Amino acid sequence: MNTAISAMKINACAIKSGEDIICTVKDKATAQSVLDAFYYNYAKCKNNEVLLEIKWNEKPEIVNVKEDICNILSKEDAIDMLTSAASDNYTEVAALSIAGETKANKTMAVSYIKYVKEAEAIDYNIITESSNTLYQDQRQIKQKGVQGLKENIYKIEYINDEEQKREFIKSQDLIKPQDEIIIKGTKIRKQPQYILPTSGFVSSIYGERNGEMHLGIDIADSKDTIVYASKDGTVMRAGSYYGYGNCIDIRHNDGSWTRYGHLDKFLVNVGDKVNQGQEIGLMGTTGNSTGYHLHFEIRYGNWPYGRTVDPSYFLDLSKLKY
């Protein structure tokens, strides 16, 4: 009985593209509604689109056929099959075109043209102003830049939702950008002249480290690497000092003083007058230290107090490795 039903052929209508039958439905009215649904799906427009033109490249045919009753599709299934067939067909055509072959008719394809509005960000300009109240290494943002927005209108040609060609029509600014204004200092900072106190590489910089303030820079190298006086001055300390281990402090004539920590050996004594570049000690790992390095600080104020400053501002660290 089931075999008889599956072999039963009835009058139906097929949608045909070229020589190929794409799908079969119960009657001509259903077939036409399938084609209309497929066609007008491409006529739908979003809020930023206006349809100018739509047409079949080559409209599929509706033909009368005798078909197995089990192969008759519902309208919804027929639309899905038609859409899939159109996509496969267009992919094949595109592949042939890339390969240098031609296909005169893009069957199962709907061509349409739309005006499309697209938003585009407008970059802001950066304007620089000068100020003699700021140092040359200082910057301030006087006005933060804000991107603008413009609307571009394009005339776009499609085939089955695939963009083929676009033509720029016009543009309109919706929001004008706001310039960013940066103030750069021109004031020359009078810097004391310091030299690198040793050789090696920077293993830790000035600033917050592990939740605590690191008051200087660490320069690492091998044991007994020579340490030099960074500036002329007087040795105020040459001994063990808390976590600094073996430590040397040198006071300078401009109100600053420098500290050299974790030394292995001292080459100067308290009270000695030292010249810039003079050998004062050898690198070690004494005190709170996990490896051979020099902890170097620059401070301003009466020794043994004073505030620390970032040594990298005064030293040419480009001669060291990071």
Q: Are residues 263 and 180 in the same domain?
A: no
Condensed to tens digits (0 to 9), the pLDDT of residues 6-15 reads 568 899 999 9
Whether 267 is in a domain gets the answer: yes
Task: Note whether 162 and 127 are same-domain residues.
Answer: yes
In a domain, 261, yes or no: yes
263, pLDDT greater than 70? yes
Instruction: Among 187, 212, 244, give the residue marking a domain's end.
Output: 187
195 within some domain = no
Query: Would you say residue 3 has pLDDT above 90?
Result: no
Q: What is the DSSP string of 104-141?
A: S--TT-EEEEEEEEEEEEEPPPEEEEEEEEEETT-EEE
For residue 97, give the 3-state DSSP assignment.
helix
Note the pLDDT of residue 83. 81
80 residue type, one letter: D
The yes-or-no verdict on residue 102 having pLDDT over 50 is no
What is the total count of domains within the chain?
3
Whether residues 43 and 82 share a domain: the answer is yes
Query: Which of 67, 86, 108 corresponds to the end of one domain?
Result: 108
- pLDDT, position 99: 38
One domain, residues 169 and 230: no
- Of 187, 218, 246, the last residue of a domain is 187
At 174, which CATH number? Answer: 2.20.230.10
- Do 183 and 240 have their domain in common? no
Read off the pLDDT of each residue in 117-146 and give the average, rounded to a whole number. Answer: 93
What lies within 8 Å, CB to CB, of 218 at 6+ separation is: 202, 203, 204, 293, 294, 295, 296
**For residues 93-106, average pLDDT:** 37
Which residues constitute the domain of residue 281? 201-319
pLDDT for the residue 189: 65
Residue 37 scores a pLDDT above 70: yes
Domain presence at residue 193: no
